[in-house]
Amino acid sequence: MEKEKKRPSSIGWVLGQAGPHRKELWLAVFFALVGVVFAIAPYFVIIRIIRNLMDGNGDVSFYMNQCGIMAAIWVARSLLHSVSTSISHRATFATLGEMRKRCTDKLARMPLGDILNRNSGALKNTLIERIDSIETTLAHIIPEFTANLLIPVGILIYIFFIDWRMGLASILTIPVGLVCYMMMMVGSEEPYMRTLNATKALNDTAVEYINGIQVIKVFGKTKNSYERFTRDANEAAHSFIDWMRDCIIPFTFAMVIMPSNLISVLPIGGILMQHGMLSAEDFISVLILSVGLITPLVTLMGYSDDIRTMATIFGQVREIQEAPEMERAAVGAVPAGNDLKLSGVRFSYGETEVLHGVDMEIPEGSFVALVGPSGSGKSTIARLIASLWDVDAGSITLGGTDIKNIPQEICADRVAFVSQDNYLFNMTIRENIRLGRADATDAEVEEAAKKSGCHDFIMSLEKGYDTMVGSSGGHLSGGERQRISIARAMLKAAPVVILDEATAYTDPENEAVIQRSVSKLTEGKTLIVIAHRLSTIVDADRIYVVKDGLIAEQGTHDELLRKDGIYGSMWKAHISSRDELKGGEE
């Protein structure tokens, strides 16, 4: 049996993320380590000065030279620190940018359902704040923590070389400080998780509040919604305050006791020197070196919170990067045609199966409609054909090739998908349409807009095609957004076009314009329509009636009417509602 691949540690994973910038990070570590040598060196210069003073050396030039050497060492130390920090930050920010790109690329390869199941606030928090938090690890902990760890190690080795008893005295406070630190860690898992959950809830509420501000205002729910936001904000703040309140006493003792090695060095050294077991020169040398331990120990402890949260931060980013992807070939065969066939397709949302063995054939160039009650599975079938999800069982073939064996890029080029809630980015109308084909000229963009019936209303706007549509297209009406989405899909010139209730937001006049445009633009292409108005699909080559995740009926409009089944009942209801509407207008 093949051994399961070992999962890299947090540090191993984050260094793996650095990729080509890993050499720069190691170079930063190298400069930091050289800086360690220069950071330790002044203490030895001071020791030399004191030893000469005790020996009675009265040469002023000697002391001036030693002071000059010490100043030069500190300048070199500062320069090395600046170089190390500059290199590490340059590599870090390049790594974080590439990390975000990998995460967003990963989202494009994940099944749509997996993404929709994740809260948008949590995703935003991971892609922005969490990845930003990795900067501390890459730019500071790796080079600076390493350097500050080696400073006390090097000093302690030299103290032990002078006198092993003084070496033990120098580290006597460290175990006591560690005990205080461990006391702080005991029981910290619960408040730590509380802060994580509170922060996540605040992000989710903030995104929901902003996205739903129109509904909140229309229905007068401003007070209730704001109270919820305020409640989550207070919970996030107090979760940190309560956690810090529990930690402050043991943490303070740890920060005070661990670096206070002079408490043990002074009395023990004094006793040894009094009994002739330690020379005055060595005692002074140990005192000076012990002082050199204080700053790096304090710095090391200052990284404790960052190290504690490191695994959680990395885990949330890794969860996205290691999430299951749709099964698509990286390199595969190009389909010979555009015939579509669904064979025994089953699909589930979580544990609930919604398609129970769907069989469909959609010849190239045909006009196929999917109808049925709400929640019957029509949109799910459309999304599976558009390669937004993977089937759980069965297969979908395009041109005789299973879509799992076709690269995602080819599937995307072959299929244009327009749903009832297509998203417009906060860009100009021209840029939103051009998303259908990046190399399209302005003339081609405008031609697509004309054919989809939105050129006139675009030109009536103050800036025409250069009008910003606002967040999610909020500056436009629902019908206007939909026609721009259709223009974008048509500019793509894909051989398969899926319209998922694409005229749901349009009035009868605009719907007629769109239907005429669709008829022209889909000539010779495969057209799959999910329609809520049956009058728009009476000319379909084949109509599939979907009910409870199964194909209940299929045939042309006339054939289905003759059967007088589900479709016949739907048609009668459609005619009845249309007649009532006309009567009301009269």
Question: What is the rounded average pLDDT of the residues 538-546?
Answer: 88
Q: pLDDT digit string (tens) for 227-271?
A: 777 888 888 888 888 888 888 888 888 878 877 888 888 899 889
**144: exposed, middle or buried (Cβ count in 10 Å: 0-12, 13-18, 19+):** buried
> In this predicted model, what pLDDT tens digit does every residue of 440-484 receive, in sequence order?
888 888 888 887 778 888 888 888 888 888 777 777 777 778 788
Average pLDDT, rounded, for the chain: 80
Query: 397: which strand partners?
Result: 341, 402
Contact 73, 41 (CB under 8 A): yes
Which residue ranges does the chain devote to CATH 3.40.50.300?
A: 340-585
Paired tokens of 130: 């969490």
CATH, domain 10-172+261-321, list 3.40.50.720, 1.10.3720.10, 3.40.50.300, 1.20.1560.10: 1.20.1560.10
Confidence of residue 64 (pLDDT cuts 50, 70, 90): very high
* pLDDT (mean) for 361-366: 89
Comparing C-alpha atoms, which of 70, 72, 146, 132 is closest to residue 100? Answer: 132
Rg (CA), the chain: 35
Look at residue 3 in the predicted model and tell me its pLDDT: 44
Which residue in 103, 120, 130 sits closest to 325, CA to CA? 103
Percent of the chain predicted with pLDDT > 90: 4
Q: Is pLDDT of 376 > 70?
A: yes
Q: Would you say residue 196 has pLDDT above 80?
A: no
What is the C-alpha to C-alpha distance for residues 552 and 358, in angstroms, rounded to an integer? 10
d(CA 300, CA 289): 17
Residue 97 is encoded by which pair of tokens? Answer: 């940018």
Residue 30 has pLDDT above 60, yes or no: yes
Q: How far apart are CA 544 and CA 377, in angstroms?
A: 11
pLDDT of 185 over the 50 cut: yes
Domain span(s) for CATH 1.20.1560.10 in the chain: 10-172+261-321
Residue 33 CB neighbours (<10 A): 15
In this prediction, residues 530-540 reach a mean pLDDT of: 81
Give the model's pLDDT for residue 65: 92
Residue 2 has a pLDDT of 42
**Over residues 524-549, mean pLDDT:** 85
Residue 580 has pLDDT above 80, yes or no: no
- Superfamily for 340-585? P-loop containing nucleotide triphosphate hydrolases (3.40.50.300)
pLDDT, mean of residues 540-548? 89
| More confident of the two residues 417 and 87 | 87
Give the pLDDT mean for 72-95.
89
Comparing 86-95, 352-361, 477-486, 575-584, the range with the smallest average pLDDT is 575-584
Q: Is pLDDT at 158 greater than 80 in this prediction?
A: yes
- The residues, ordered by sequence, that sit 6+ positions from 311 with a Cβ below 8 Å of its Cβ are 10
pLDDT at position 508 is 60
* Length, in residues, of the chain: 586
> Closest Cα to residue 242, out of 198, 299, 293?
198
pLDDT digits (tens, 9 = 90+) for 267-291: 998 898 888 898 888 888 888 888 8
Higher pLDDT, 473 or 559: 559
Q: Is the pLDDT score of 72 beyond 90? A: yes
Percent of the chain with pLDDT over 70: 86
Kindly report, residue by residue over 289-341, the tens digit of the pLDDT.
Answer: 888 777 777 777 767 666 666 777 777 788 888 878 777 776 766 777 888 99
Band of pLDDT at residue 68, cut at 50, 70 and 90: very high
Q: Whose CA is closest to 166, among 48, 282, 42, 50?
A: 282
Distance between CA atoms of residues 495 and 337, nearest Å: 9
Would you put residue 349 in left (φ > 0), alpha (ψ -120 to 50) or beta?
Answer: beta
Low-confidence winner among 52-66, 224-238, 387-401 (lowest mean pLDDT): 224-238
| C-alpha to C-alpha distances, 163 to 175, 272, 283, nearest whole angstrom | 20, 10, 9
**pLDDT the model gives residue 509:** 61
